[in-house]
Amino acid sequence: MKKITPKSYEEAIQQLEKITESMQNNDLPLEESLAAYEYGQELVQYCQQKLAEVEQKLQLLDHGELKELKLEAEE
């Protein structure tokens, strides 16, 4: 499996979805499955890091307190 460094959280999620689909369909030989699993773990860590960064920015924007974001219903 070709490793591609994600440019964004969304791209990493797309790559994780492709890996998951390939593994669920048994499309990969054993060694490639292991490599895909390891790459998937790297992508999960990347996503967790990005989410933590966003959470930290939200806390800074809200004076150190993380509050629930209330969205208005769209009409």
pLDDT, one tens digit per residue, over 53-72 is: 888 887 776 666 666 666 56
In tens, the pLDDT along 18-52 reads 999 999 998 889 999 999 999 999 999 999 999 98
Indicate whether 3 belongs to any domain: no
* Total domains present in the chain: 1
**CA 53 → CA 25, 56, 67, distances in Å?**
34, 5, 16
Domain residue limits at 50 = 9-61
Q: Would you say residue 24 lies in a domain?
A: yes
Distance CA 11, CA 7 (A): 6
Tell whether pTM > 0.85: no
